[in-house]
Structure 1
Amino acid sequence: MRTSNDGLLAQLRHPPGGRDARLMLAAQGLDRTGTGMWWAASVLYFTYVAHLDARQVGLLLGVAAIAGVAGSPIAGWLAERRSVRRLLIACHLLRLAAMLLLLVCHGFGELLPLVALTSLGDRAAKTLEMLFATRVAGQQRAVYQALFRTIANAGYAVGAGIAAIGIAIGTVGAYQALILVNGLSYVGAALLIRRTGPEAGQTTARAAAAEQTGPNPWRDRGYLLFVLLDVVMNLDDGVLNVGLPLWLIHRTHAPHALVPAFLVINTVMVVLLQMRFSGWAGTPRRAATAVALNGATMLACCLVIAFGTGGGAWTAALAMVLAAMLTTVAELLRSVSSWELAVSLAPEQARASYLGVAGMSQSIEKAAGPLLLTGAVFAAGPAGWLALGAVLTGVGALQRGACLRRLTALRAAAAEPVTAPQEAAVPAN
């Protein structure tokens, strides 16, 4: 364990990308701390401070998720034309403005556009961070992704801990203080990003030229298939955050106090194992294999839930803990493979716009995943979990095959001499 921790600390001191990467990782950690704090307190804030009923809170969060879907492609399109660094600072300032306005806006009609704007800025920022890392870390982007996820999970945990203090106090002033601290996290992140070198986030000349000649991701059926299948593979997020807690509460005899342990298990495993998983799946072909393993792991998780949670309290509790561990393994596999494949399958000269489209997969899953789990899977009981596991296994195998074929085609296209104008848009990988 000491060797693993020493390696992590060494990577944090000297991440791929040098000083710019170090500043960006610090900014991301600060941002995720504030975000974790707001996530933990937002529903209670809307309920007890803004005085919204359950239906209004659900609609508010649903609209926010839909707005977030648009954030990724908008950010990708803009990043082909403007500096990623400046766009990312603008996103943080946009989120800051929305947070501050929450302090003076309380009605449903006033809160709706603010929450939607915050979600749009959040998803846009995540896409821009991916682009920044792709340009700065280069071929070592898998290592950067592992460092980021380690820092992000630690930030979410710290943020949730801070939120717990405010929630325990329970006054309007305490909730408003949480909003202000979250806003300060955006300010701090923007200031750190501003210290990065301008060239780190600049639009390259090749990308600028691609505005007119580069391929369009919305017309690339192969890449759109990858994004569509990636939406399904992101369901491990919904299973961990929605499926397992609700199933434990409503369908098992396990103690309800076990629900917070799911987040603890997830956080600890990601911090300890993300570097190892990223090191193994750091190439495009291994990333494609990781997708198939993700599906198989989720099948194992669904089998545990279907057959292991119908007994007594202790049996159900052990089964739910094992399911949380398997879901986290699937997340570790998916997190590195999804990003690596999104980059590797995209034409280099239009990578920003392609990654903007790829970033939609997580947003769509967050909007539709909970509805699928609570509506279809829960309604069918254990059989619903078995069906979900079978679907995820099949989609994982399909995604692996589709990605390997595209990687082979891209490699073959790169080896061919450019002899016709229409071949100018073929990516070099």
Structure 2
Amino acid sequence: MLFAQLLDRTGTGVWAASSVLYFTFVLGLDAGRIGLLLGAAAVAGIAGSPLAGHLAGRFPVRSLLIGCHLLRLGTLGALLVVTRFDVLLPLVAVTCLGDRAAKALEMLFATRVAGERRGTYQALARSSANAGYAVGAGIAAAGLAVGTPEAYRALILANALSFLAAAALVRRTREPRAEGWVAAGAGDAGGSAAGGGATGRTRAPSPWRDRGYLRFVLLDIPMNLDDSVLAVGLPLWLVARTDAPHVLVPAFLVINTVLVVVLQLRVSARFERPRQAAAALSVYGLTMLACCVLLALSAGTGAVAASVVLLAAAGLVTGAELLRSVSSWELAVSLAPEEARASYLGVAGMAQSVQKSAGPLLLTGVVMTAGPAGWLALGAGIAVLSAVQRRSAVRRLDSLPVPLPLRPGRPDRPSSRRSGVR
């Protein structure tokens, strides 16, 4: 599964580095239409995670993940022959929906496979994903250097083929038995036989009616802003408000990739338990505050000083990303009831998708427009919200029922009375 994720992210890295230029130079789209394409894709991506979670409670995750890979194979293949904008729009939107759904399904699959070791698995997955993005960017750079329409189409084809290879690898991966994973609204098939009389059909809880979990998801949106700060805020701030050389922009990605690959396992090992993950939220807020302070200080300084400060900010935002990747995933799993975990994790995945849509607009339209004061306000806001998120998460953890003891003589399987699973 990890190698399949590596191939998936390699193709995604190729697409991320070449898609805008493909739309511009090969298809001849103007900036307005490209913006509309990307906006529609971002909106469609928001629906990908909850849709995946909903389906994962009813169908095997492996089959759904293969379907997502093949869906993107088909849409990207169609992009090679489609030139009409009204057809491109739904194709790009469906591609992004499949991308977000695939990420949610990979998360669900990993949670089932890894169990209590999900933090370590998540660290390995993120390391392989970052390596894939780096490889994909390198492949895209080679194709972009050629610059011909045929080279651009070859990059799109390479991305599509990466999904085919990933689907083949997933097909060879065994899916674990999904005990305790019942979709919201599914009936308890064994309910009427449990007590010698008809007890009726029970319904697993729905994340859409769980205010506490929805509060967690809502607060998790600003906890993902490190992504936009690294990808949008740092480069644009460097270009628009500092004297630092533009060649530093690729260095931000290099720093991020290297630190994630080197440190993700260590950070995950330190914050792998639910309460440790909750504690990581406060550290995340303070780290983002320090990053934003450095960005505010970089304006108006000399080229050398600005370069040093911005590189330090890139290191801090990467540290925040390491903390967030652990805390968000672990808490999303731990705060969800076992009997409806698939649908709950699907809703939790919306936080990243919403941030990817709204985060760049927040940074470019509000934070950077306000100048250094905007960065200070953003950092302070994230620090405060991270403290609120931590308090809310700890309160919910305290309210969760204590797991039932294992059945005597059956050390490999917990009692299933709570979830109704037989």
Is the pair's TM-score, using the shorter chain for normalization, greater than 0.5?
yes
Equivalent position to 2:79, from 102, 108, 113: 102
**Counterpart of 1:231?**
221
**Counterpart of 1:310?**
300
- Alpha carbons of structure 1 residues 161 and 216: separation in structure 2 relative to 1, 3 Å: same
Shift of 1:411: 3.8
Residue 358, structure 1, aligned to residue 330, structure 2:
no
Q: For 2:65 and 2:396, how far apart are their aligned partners in 1?
A: 31
Residue 84, structure 1, aligned to residue 74, structure 2:
no
Structure 2 letter corresponding to 1:110: V
Q: For 1:62 and 1:194, how far apart are their aligned partners in 2?
A: 32
1:340-386 CA distance string (max 9 Å, x none): 00000000000000000000000000000000000010111000000
Structure 1 segments, 4+ long, off by >3 Å, are 202-206, 411-415, 424-428
Residue 32, structure 1, aligned to residue 9, structure 2:
yes
- Alpha carbons of structure 1 residues 167 and 222: separation in structure 2 relative to 1, 3 Å: same
Unaligned runs of 5+ in 1: 1-23, 416-423
Shift of 1:211: 1.2
1:52-96 CA distance string (max 9 Å, x none): 111111111111011000000000000000000000000000000
Equivalent position to 1:127, from 88, 101, 104: 104
Structure 1 letter corresponding to 2:182: A
Residue 136, structure 1, aligned to residue 152, structure 2:
no
**Counterpart of 2:380?**
390
Q: For 1:413 and 1:125, how far apart are their aligned partners in 2?
A: 30
The alignment partner of 2:400 has SS state of helix
Q: For 1:331 and 1:218, how far apart are their aligned partners in 2?
A: 27
Structure 2 letter corresponding to 1:211: A
Between 1:304-313 and 1:110-119, the stretch displaced more is 304-313
Matches within 5 A, 1:291-310: 291-310=281-300
Q: For 2:270 and 2:359, how far apart are their aligned partners in 1?
A: 28
- Alpha carbons of structure 1 residues 316 and 208: separation in structure 2 relative to 1, 3 Å: closer
**Counterpart of 1:46?**
23
Matches within 5 A, 1:242-391: 242-391=232-381
**Counterpart of 2:186?**
211
Shift of 1:107: 2.5
Q: For 1:309 and 1:143, how far apart are their aligned partners in 2?
A: 39
**Counterpart of 1:9?**
none
Matches within 5 A, 1:43-82: 43-82=20-59
Shift of 1:412: 5.5
Structure 2 letter corresponding to 1:403: A
Conserved 8 A contact 1:413-1:426 = no
- Alpha carbons of structure 1 residues 403 and 236: separation in structure 2 relative to 1, 3 Å: same
Shift of 1:180: 0.9
Conserved 8 A contact 1:410-1:427 = no
Q: For 1:196 and 1:144, how far apart are their aligned partners in 2?
A: 15
- Alpha carbons of structure 1 residues 104 and 46: separation in structure 2 relative to 1, 3 Å: same
Shift of 1:205: 7.1
Residue 147, structure 1, aligned to residue 137, structure 2:
no
Q: For 1:397 and 1:413, how far apart are their aligned partners in 2?
A: 27
Q: For 2:418 and 2:79, how far apart are their aligned partners in 1?
A: 45
Q: For 1:166 and 1:427, how far apart are their aligned partners in 2?
A: 54
**Counterpart of 2:411?**
none
Shift of 1:50: 1.1
Structure 2 letter corresponding to 1:207: V
Structure 2 letter corresponding to 1:104: V
The alignment partner of 2:205 has SS state of coil
Shift of 1:425: 7.3
Structure 2 letter corresponding to 1:313: A
1:125-149 CA distance string (max 9 Å, x none): 0010001000011100000000011
Q: For 1:203 and 1:411, how far apart are their aligned partners in 2?
A: 21
Unaligned runs of 5+ in 2: 188-202, 406-416
Q: Percent identity?
A: 64
Structure 2 letter corresponding to 1:112: L
Shift of 1:292: 1.1
Between 1:394-403 and 1:301-310, the stretch displaced more is 301-310
- Alpha carbons of structure 1 residues 319 and 427: separation in structure 2 relative to 1, 3 Å: farther
1:214-246 CA distance string (max 9 Å, x none): 001001000000000000110000000000000
Between 1:43-52 and 1:105-114, the stretch displaced more is 105-114
Bigger Cα Rg: 2
The alignment partner of 1:259 has SS state of helix
- Alpha carbons of structure 1 residues 341 and 114: separation in structure 2 relative to 1, 3 Å: same
Q: For 2:331 and 2:82, how far apart are their aligned partners in 1?
A: 42
Conserved 8 A contact 2:184-2:343 = no
Conserved 8 A contact 1:210-1:349 = no
Higher helix share: 1
Conserved 8 A contact 1:60-1:115 = yes
Conserved 8 A contact 1:215-1:425 = no
Q: For 1:414 and 1:137, how far apart are their aligned partners in 2?
A: 20
- Alpha carbons of structure 1 residues 96 and 183: separation in structure 2 relative to 1, 3 Å: same
Q: For 2:93 and 2:154, how far apart are their aligned partners in 1?
A: 21
Q: For 2:208 and 2:362, how far apart are their aligned partners in 1?
A: 26
Structure 2 letter corresponding to 1:195: R
